Structure formats: C-alpha cells, structure tokens
Chains A and B, each alone.
Chain A
Amino acid sequence: MNLYVILKRTFDTEEKISISNGEISHDSAEYIINPYDEYAIEEAITLRDAHGGEVTVVTVGTEESEKELRTALAMGADKAVLIDTEELDSTDQYTTSAVLAEFFKDKEYDLILGGNVAIDNGSGQVGPRLAELLGIPQVTTITKIEVNGTDVFIERDVEGDVEKIETSLPLLVTAQQGLNEPRYPSLPGIMKAKKKPLETLEIDDLDIDEEDVEAKTKTVEVFMPPKKEAGKILSGELNDQVKELVSLLRSEAKVI
C-alpha cells in the first residue's frame, strides 16, 4: 500500500501563548508534531506493517519542520517530503491544500492520512479540502480502520456516537483521538531516521503559480482573551457552601 501522511508542526500543548507585535510570539516555544497527526502516523505505520508498502510523511511549512519530519521517520515512516512555502506572502488553508494537491497530482496513493484538526489554528480544513481537490472520498475523525484489498471498514466519532462506515481505496482519512496509542521513537529508530530520505521541494519545483494559491482569508488582529477576575472560594460548613453555591448560581450568575 502507498500510504501518505500529511502532518503539521505545532506549538507544544504545554506552551503558554503570548502576543508581540500583533502576532503570536514564537520565541523560545517548543514545537511538536500536531498530536492528531501523530495518530495518523502511527496508523499508517501499523497498516504498512500489516499490508506491506511504504509510508511517506509530507508537510507544508518552513525548513524548521524538518525536525518533526525526522521524528516521524524515527517513529517508522519510510520517506519524508518538506514543501517549503516560506516565499509565499499570504497563506491559509486554501493555499496549503492547493499546494498539497499539486504535490499529489502525479503520485500514486492508496490512503492519505492526517489529523482531524491542528491544535494551533484549529480549522480542520486541509484534509477534506485536499480530498476534494484530488477527487477521492474522505472519512473524518476516525477511531478505527481496517483495510481488506481495496475495501475499507471504518469507525468514526460523531460527537460521541460511533458511525460504522464502508468505503474503498483510494481514500483520505483524518484521525481522532482513540485511534491508537502513538509510539515513541526508539533509539535505533532515531539513528535510522538520519539516513532515511528527506526531500525538500520549493514552490518553484511544483507546477504552481503563486497567484493561484494566494490566501482567500486574512487575519486582521490577534488578541488574548480577557483575564478572569479571581473567583469566590466559598467557606463554612460544607452543607452551607453547597446551599450558597446554588443560590449564587441562580441569583448572581443567573445560569440556572
């Protein structure tokens, strides 16, 4: 099977966010593979081990994303591709999916996997957009996948319910938490990863006109949510605290 994983480098979930010069401050932040993309990588490796074939991880970003690609190779992916879009002025999900579609145009793929959402921008658009541009079906937020020849059986999370789906390859899926438990790269894995192929493509290497991938949206402001004032810690007998709380929720907060 030809398996591809689209992944994104994101801020570590432990990071506090701050803003400088109207943008999210990137200084000294720790970066990781987007957690949902890790599920996708793990699933791709498992499927390859069961059915044979190759796992290629692809990211659209800057050269700094090499680190996350190496991590994916250390987990067990076979090849990595970095599409460097540093030179593009304005990018959004329209751009990213258009660039990826151009990359996939002449590739042979059976299954493309990604996370269902990236924890930084949180729009969850690139996977389904790419599926549409490639003209293949999609199943989002999957928690289980079985492949039998070209038949695919999937379970997906729909707001807590489980949908059981039948479809076929070629296909794009996006991973939901619960799909698997991503492995940590092993030491031998890390050593091997250094020798695995990592190809870097510039926009000029793809058949892309910059104007055709120009963003359709623009961020005009970034701001922090208003700081919450310190709340009220109740005191006294537990029974009285509970009574006071219920009364406050009704009369002061008016939410009950």
Chain B
Amino acid sequence: MSKKVLVLGEVRDGELRNVSFEAVAAAKEISSGGEVIAVLCGEGLNEAGKALIHYGADRVVLAEHSLLSNYSTDGYVQALLQVIDQEKPDGLVLGHTALGKDLSPRLAARLKSGLISDVTSLEQAGENVVFTRPIYSGKAFEKKVITDGLVFVTIRPNNITPLEIDESRSGDVSAFAVDVKDLRTVVKDVVRKASTGVDLSEAKIIVAGGRGVKSQDGFKPLQELADVLGAAVGASRGACDADYCDYSLQIGQTGKVVTPDLYIACGISGAIQHLAGMSNSKVIVAINKDPEASIFSVADYGIVGDLFEVVPLLTEEFKNVLVKS
C-alpha cells in the first residue's frame, strides 16, 4: 500500500546535512510508491528545498518563520504539528541527530504514536516495513515494526544510502505559513567546540585516541592526520577520564556510537565498552604498542607500534598519495 511520508530536512550552517538525503531515501522505501514530502524549518530555504527534490523528495514544504532559524523544541513541535495537520502523513522520518533525538519523542507523544529510534536499515516484508536498529550499543541488533498508526522513525546518520542526485528531478517547493509563539526555552549562546567542524556521528573517517596518547598534546598528531583526511577526532573513555580531551569526543557505550567508513584507533586497548561504540565501523585500523590489545580482534588492519611514530608517518604518506591523486 503506498503511503505519504514526511521527512524533516536539517540545515546546519546553511547546508543540508547528509542525513537529510538519507532520510529521503528511507522515506521513499517506506512510501512504497507513494509521496515523499520534505519539510524544512527556518528562513531562506529555497535552495535547500531544491536540493531535497534533486535527492528524491516529490515535494517540499518550507515552514518559514524567524523563530525557527534556530532549533527549539517548542518551535519545531509547533511548526511540525501544523504541517502534519495539513498533510496527514502515514509516515514520518527524522535523522537520529541531536535535533531528531530531542524532537521526535516529543512529537510521538503528542501524536500518540510509536517511534522506532536510531534505525540503521529497513526492508519491506509484506504489508509491513521492518526496521533494524542496534541495541546494547551495537552489541546486538533488533528488528522492529510499528504495530499501530503512524510509521515514525529516526535514522542513524551514515547507514542508509541516499538516492543518486539527479538535477533533472522537479517538484513543488512552496512556503507554508506557520504560527510559532511562546518558546519556553531560549538559546542565549552557542559555543563551538567541535574544532574541525566534522561531526563524529556523520564523519566518514574518524581518528580516535585512547590512553596511549598520554596527554592533551598527544592528540596533536591525531588531529594532523584527521585534517589531512577530512576526518573527525574521537576518543576512548580512558582518554576522556584522564582529561586528555573533552567528553564530547567520547566514543563507546557511554558516549557516541559511530559507524564511519574508516575508523583509525590509536593507542586504544579496546575495552568492551569502547568496542560497543565503534565495532560496526566499515573498516577498522588499529595502531597499538601491545600486540595482545583486544582492539586488534575487531581490526581489519593492524600495526603493532608506537602511535607517536606510526601516526606522523601515516599523515605524511596520506599527504603524498592524496596530493598525487
């Protein structure tokens, strides 16, 4: 049965996030030949709207309001409820991002609907769509279905392949008047900490450090490697607890769960809590002095050696080959 599925697109620093294109692809699958409508909230969203059409949305609704240029729970709940009331969708897809995690349960409660969070893949099974998601921080997986009402899911960045961009796709991009008021939480300031601007959850490549980096300065060679690769820097709990870096970098059972294409673990022993956060990465490289370190058990490639020797060599080698290509 074909369905009408709504997708919330997410714009950050004027750019649509990749996860929004992935969400369109997921919505397309859920719609099974129905209509995919992307929603954008904020101001000056025409270009982003067109991009969503090029990535496969059939139609785009722009909820334009000055109070929506920055995310707030109340503002976005109000705006989306008004769009949902107008469109009456059968499905709703958001990214499992900071925004999606804050907003989706609140919307689900208002809509009295189920919600399957942090979906990594989906498949048709008869009348139902079956969603796969990690549990126990990726130590296991479950397949879930919505048994009643709205098919509402959030998808984990980096896992669902977006449709090929096709600039010949066309579709209606139109403004929708929303009424937004009485925001009860006010963002006074945002302090940027993520140094490279590459977000861990969306990064294609992550260079992570553990206790083996030994100090805050020890992260410098890792950052240099990350810069060459356009990668994000992450850390194990050990490195965070030892105050070598900020907790916002922590990957693991507590901390972030990541699934990049390439994960380079430097001086990380591979405690089970850390493995839970990264073992589903597509390719894992381990660099560690201790050949017995359990990180090698999940690594595709390993170098036994001192990270302070290996990482700078690796940076130089990547520089060489990436310049040539």
Interface residues of A (CB under 8 A from B): 11, 13-14, 16-17, 19, 24, 35-36, 92-94, 97, 116-117, 119-133, 137-141, 157-168, 177-178, 214-225, 228, 230-234, 238-239, 241-243, 245-246, 248-250, 253, 255-256
Contacts and interface: CB of A to CB of B under 8 A. Distances in A.
**Chain A interface main SS type:** mixed
Given A119-B253, A164-B191, A232-B300, A222 B114 contact: no
Nearest to A242: B313
Interface in B275-316: 276, 279-280, 282-286, 291, 296-305, 309-310, 313-314
A132 B105 CA distance: 9
Nearest to A141: B98
A216 B114 contact: yes
A231 B302 contact: yes
Interface string B125-167: 0000010011111111111111111000000000000000000
A157 B248 contact: yes
10 A-B pairs with least C-beta separation: A216-B114, A160-B194, A132-B109, A125-B105, A128-B105, A137-B184, A123-B117, A129-B109, A178-B247, A221-B143
Interface string B182-203: 0011111111111000011100
Given A159-B98, A161-B194, A219-B144, A233 B302 contact: yes
B102 to A, nearest CB: 5
A215 B189 CA distance: 39
Contact of A129 (B74, B97, B108): B108
**Chain B interface main SS type:** mixed
B1 interface: no
A146 B272 CA distance: 35
A116 B117 CA distance: 13
Contact of A222 (B135, B273, B317): B135
A36 B313 CA distance: 39
B194 to A, nearest CB: 4
Given A224-B140, A253-B300, A94 B285 contact: no
